[in-house]
Chains A and B, each alone.
Chain A
Amino acid sequence: MIQMFHVTKAYPGDPPALVDVNLSVEKGEFVFLTGPSGAGKTTLLRLVFCAEPATRGQILVGGRNVARIRQGSIPFLRRNMGVVFQDFKLLPHRTVLDNVALSLDVLGVPRAEARQRANRMLKLVGLQHKTESLPLKLSGGEQQRVVIARALVNEPALLLADEPTGNLDPELSQEIMSLLQDANVRGTTVVVATHDLPMVERSGKRVVRLDRGRIVSDAGGPTVVRRVG
């Protein structure tokens, strides 16, 4: 699903955020990216969803080389990915249902069908009773569940989550992790960047550890591909 070959990302005037990273994530895998702040976790995810280009190296996502992708093709690549952020990124003036349906609106799915599918997804994340609420009326955990519903409503092949439990208490964090694992069980490849080590250790999933832009360990999980760059 994701292959990175000798990927380096550098910003002018700063030490490189990623240095010669080689990584392979198989279809259907669940991978944690961990490491201290500034290790390069977020940068790695940003490169995968084409928020910015790599300075050097090649990145394949679903078989497509994102280093060579045309600007106009990026939206179509993203439609096959769900993205979850620590700061939620919800539209404050739109209802929970509209926020979730946004991913389907972009695809041109008729409104009635989009709302039906969004409703179904909200039920799956346990928010069926909050469909007409505005995001700011929800708790942090509920907002994050809305974001996960939005990320999964169009059944993406890949889900990227950047610190999805960063602002949540342990109980809510566990709920969110359960949702991500459920998505993984349904066939979605999931990559989660987090510094919540106890949760990572409990999960028994593959853990890729980054430090100062380099992969320093890659262990655990049932899948086979291992590369340390």
Chain B
Amino acid sequence: MSAVAKAQTFWRSAMEGIRHQPFVHAVSTITLAIALFTLGLARSAAHELDRLVGSLGGEVRVTVYLDPRVPPAARTAVADGLRRRGMAVEEVSPHAALERLVRELGPAAESLRGLSEDPLPPSLEVRVPESMRAPASLRALAAELRGIAAVTGVDYGEQAVERLSAIARAVRWAGWVAFVVLVGATLIIVSATLQLAIYARREEVEIQKLVGATDRFVQAPFLLEGALQGIAGAALAIAGLIAFRQTVSPQLSTLLSFLRLPGAGADASPWMEALELALAGAGLGLAGSYLAVHRFLRA
């Protein structure tokens, strides 16, 4: 018994199968290519969405309102405490806060001119590090700050942060559902197509079994064909993604310049992405052909 001899037999048989039924194998390969192209595109889109959510999260500022009656040293102590924890803190005096409000109100700010003294409290504007931008972390930070005697209030746009986080969660779930549906549909199409190929070779399978072939011996060339189709499909999908990124993506980026679109600045290594797609293709091809040949042998 020789594993190498068997592997050579499987390889020859798989090549022969592909050579004799090019149309069926082309259909499977193109189906896999379309699925992998869609997966590649969706993956890039998800990656960019994550970046978008991350960049919006960067805009979240925590405003800490301080009691104007406490001495400046106590306010500075609060700011220094936050800085020591890696946060960027800007101290805003009541005068500076009023000037900013006047600027923002524009002509409507005339009504503020008559005020004799600064009506706004001193505050700290805090930019939290990325690791603390999750809604739960922000909530905990706000609660901690509210516990300090010099602090009269904390505002971090709680509702906006929660909503953004919920949207990101929903998008991720939708992505997973779409992924499962796409993979399921691909498996069904690929296994149905491969079943045609197996059916066309039913006589060969019958003869192999007559001379003592095990189910594994019969399955192996079909599995190899499925894996090869998956890799070929992945190659087509990679070519399609490269073409998409070089032609369509820049135009979309120009049209929707306020968003970062798939491929506009992907960080993932193209080689790693190609490897992942090839592995996904081989896996899908293997699974599709396994389903087809298993169903055929059990029939």
Contact = CB atoms under 8 A, between A and B. Distances in A.
B294 interface: no
B211 A93 contact: no
B5 A89 contact: no
B212 interface: yes
B212 A103 contact: yes
Nearest to A150: B211
Interface in B178-198: none
B16 A78 contact: no
Given A89-B206, A91-B204, A93-B16, A102 B211 contact: yes
A76 interface: yes
Interface in A63-113: 72, 75-79, 83, 89-91, 93-94, 102-103, 105-111
A79 B6 CA distance: 16
Contacts of B214: 72, 75-76
Contact of B8 (A76, A90, A111): A111
A49 B206 CA distance: 13
A102 B5 CA distance: 12
Contacts of B207: 89-91, 102
Contacts of A109: 2, 5
Contacts of A49: 210
Given A106-B208, A106-B211, 4 more contacts: A75-B214, A91-B203, A102-B208, A105-B9
Interface in A103-127: 103, 105-111, 114
Interface in B1-53: 1-6, 8-9, 16, 20
B103 interface: no
Given A89-B203, A93-B16, A83 B210 contact: yes
A89 B203 CA distance: 8
B294 to A, nearest CB: 14
A161 B1 CA distance: 27
Interface string B202-243: 011011111111110100000000000000000000000000
B9 A110 contact: no
Nearest to A93: B20
Interface string B250-282: 000000000000000000000000000000000
Q: Which label, helix, strand, loop or mixed, suits the secondary structure of the B interface?
A: helix
B212 A79 contact: yes
Contacts of B6: 105, 108
B8 A106 contact: no
A71 to B, nearest CB: 9
A112 to B, nearest CB: 9
A78 B206 CA distance: 13
B210 A89 contact: yes
26 contacts: A75-B209, A75-B212, A75-B215, A76-B212, A78-B211, A78-B212, A83-B210, A83-B211, A89-B203, A89-B210, A90-B207, A93-B20, A103-B211, A103-B212, A106-B208, A106-B212, A106-B217, A108-B2, A108-B3, A108-B5, A109-B2, A110-B4, A111-B8, A111-B9, A114-B5, A150-B211
A110 B211 contact: no
B203 to A, nearest CB: 7
A90 B16 CA distance: 16
A110 B5 contact: yes
A149 to B, nearest CB: 12
Nearest to B204: A91
A83 B207 CA distance: 10
Contacts of B211: 78-79, 83, 102-103, 106, 150
Contacts of A150: 211
A110 B7 CA distance: 10
A91 B214 CA distance: 18
Nearest to B213: A106
A107 B206 contact: no
Contacts of B1: 107-108
Closest 6 CB pairs of A and B: A79-B212, A78-B212, A108-B1, A103-B211, A110-B5, A75-B214
Contacts of B3: 108
